[in-house]
Chains A and B, each alone.
Chain A
Amino acid sequence: MSGSVLYDVPGPRARARNRVYGVVSTVAIVGLLAFVVYRLDDTGQFQAGLWDDYEYADTQQRIVDGLLTTLKTFAIAAVLSLLLGTVLATARLSDHKPVRWAATVAVEFFRAMPLLIMIFLLYAAVFTSDPMWALVIGLTLYNGSVQAEIFRSGINAVPKGQSEAAYAIGLRKTQVMTNVLVPQAVRSMLPSIISQLVVTLKDTSLGFIILYEELLFVGKAFAQQTPPVNGVYAFIPMVIVFGSIYILLCLALSSVATWVERRTKRSRKGSPPPMPATSATVMTDAAHGAAGVDPGASGAGTPDNQ
């Protein structure tokens, strides 16, 4: 029985009606899919000639190379953004007003700028010959600022009694942070951190626009090289193949987030932090968040064994 409060438990007539709706909508959706496949076939996207190339070891090697480039960029950007996030969050939690103020300005500025605009700037002004670092530094600045906000809200969400008790037994601020607050905060904010990493992974594809040879760019270069078969270029097969790779990567990482979230929920002592995304100040950005960001929604479909 579904637990929804929006409708009554269906009786015989409602069940029959729902079944009719179900069949009609299934037919509509399947029909739409069939139409898409039919049109793609009709325009010659499934001709063997366009797909043959994917069988060659050479091609597969290029795809793997592109994938590795993407993963490498992601790894560097992820590590750097976590580091930057830690630094910025520490600065924002500092006791010194100027430090706090500077960190706040930096965080709000980098979060308010479109990532691509930052990357264009870095590519044109600093890393003219090296798109990878333009991409990595851009990703680091943006995601580092977002991670800083996640860390800060995580630390602030640890019950106040914890730090009061720690100060009361004579620990210094550093000790309170490292021994008491951070270990508790990390548990509760891990799902949000991983979701932000998914965003980082997704955003590595921006390298495509500044012609950096990551996965998507390899795909496009590849489709441009493949000679057209009967006047059809190999772009759609490329989107299907490379799109699936991207989606699988991101899905894998998101499912880690969901898994961690469920684990922390099962055995929790402190409650998870409320997400920072609720006020419409200029800089807030729940935006890109991938699966598992909003505690209210993501748990709804899964069985909660608390």
Chain B
Amino acid sequence: MNVLSDNFAMFREGFVGTVELTALSALLALVLGTLVAAFRVSPVPALRVFGTVWVTLLRNTPLVLLFLAVTLGLPALGLKGWDSFWLAVMALGCYTSAFICEAIRSGINTVPVGQAEAARSLGMTFNQTLGQIVLPQAARTAIPPIGSLMIALAKNTAIASGFNVTELGSVQKTLNAASGYDIYVIFAWIALCYIIITFTISGLFRLLENRLAVAR
């Protein structure tokens, strides 16, 4: 008997779960990461400190611990109605945002100094300089590292299987427990699913990179 055809609905559900989890946490991570990167270069010291603490703490927290903190902590803070999927999105998004922030910040560092200087000499404020001049150029250099962060995020979604989210990892766990299938075959199919997802992400980012490429 074939694992895939016997359990196709399960595989499909797991695949969709992983994709959704990846996409939504990626969105959250990009928004949060950009915001925190802006904090880290802003003229307001309090925001800079906040950004630094955010990045340092999250980069040094094991993701499993963050999952525990979010799944146990947020309900205690009064977010009762959230199901485990959205809590997983929160945990993955916050975790990845710290890495995205660093990617964007090193992108900002590669923008030639003259660009920001020219913007300032035109009388642009910090928000205008950052938002209209520096960030769009920083995005270009930040895209390849962000691509590999997204792939890592897709791989990290497997951890959600330990916290009652249906995705590929939990499919593997369930099928491993159900006797009768070859464990290596299950693994091969799950691996194939992940490779499809990571290839798609890397393809998308290569496309994006070519679109935004500019001769400098």
Contact = CB atoms under 8 A, between A and B. Distances in A.
Contacts of A113: 155, 191, 194
A239 B161 contact: no
A282 interface: yes
A114 interface: yes
B41 A117 contact: no
B183 A125 contact: yes
A202 interface: yes
Given A205-B62, A246-B61, A239 B69 contact: yes
Interface string A2-29: 1011111010001000100111011001
B161 A116 contact: yes
Interface stretch (A85-93, A150-158, A265-273, A296-304): A296-304
Q: How large is the interface on A (under 10, 10 to 19, 20 to 34, 35 or more residues)?
A: 35 or more
The 5 closest A-B pairs by CB, nearest first: A287-B152, A280-B147, A209-B162, A205-B62, A250-B60
B81 to A, nearest CB: 16
A127 interface: no
Contacts of A116: 158-159, 161-162, 169
Nearest to A123: B176
Interface in B155-194: 155-159, 161-162, 168-169, 172-173, 176, 183-184, 187, 190-191, 194
Nearest to A118: B187
A54 B134 CA distance: 50
Contacts of A285: 148, 151-152, 155
Quick one: which of A14, A120, A289, A296 has the most chain B CB within 10 A?
A120
Contact of B61 (A243, A278, A300): A243
B168 A282 contact: no
A228 B187 CA distance: 40
B77 A251 contact: no
A112 B184 contact: no
Q: Is the interface of A mostly helix, strand, loop or mixed?
A: helix
Contacts, number: 204
Nearest to A299: B109
Interface stretch (A39-47, A56-64, A171-179, A185-193): A39-47
A50 interface: no
Contacts of B59: 254, 290-291
Given A280-B148, A287-B151, A7 B99 contact: no
B158 A114 contact: yes
Given A4-B41, A5-B117, A121-B184, A239 B105 contact: no
B57 A247 contact: yes
Given A236-B73, A278-B144, A205 B149 contact: no
B198 interface: yes
A156 to B, nearest CB: 19
Given A22-B46, A280-B206, A7 B129 contact: yes
26 contacts: A6-B108, A21-B44, A21-B46, A23-B46, A25-B44, A25-B46, A25-B50, A26-B46, A121-B183, A125-B187, A202-B60, A204-B62, A236-B76, A243-B61, A246-B61, A277-B145, A277-B148, A278-B145, A280-B143, A280-B148, A280-B205, A281-B202, A285-B151, A286-B103, A287-B153, A291-B60
A203 interface: yes
Nearest to B76: A43
Interface in A241-255: 242-243, 246-247, 250-251, 254
Contact of B65 (A2, A112, A242): A242
B158 A239 contact: no
Interface in B46-80: 46-47, 50, 52, 56-57, 59-65, 68-69, 72-73, 76-78
Contact of A296 (B46, B110, B156, B158): B110
Interface of A: 2, 4-8, 10, 14, 18, 21-23, 25-26, 29, 36, 39-40, 43, 45, 112-117, 120-121, 124-125, 198, 202-206, 208-209, 216, 220, 235-236, 239, 242-243, 246-247, 250-251, 254, 277-282, 284-291, 294, 296-297, 300-301
B111 to A, nearest CB: 9
B199 interface: yes
A280 B144 contact: yes
Contacts of A204: 62
B76 to A, nearest CB: 5
A115 B194 CA distance: 12
Contacts of B156: 114
A239 B41 contact: no
A254 B60 contact: yes
Nearest to B112: A5
B194 to A, nearest CB: 6
B82 interface: no
B70 to A, nearest CB: 10
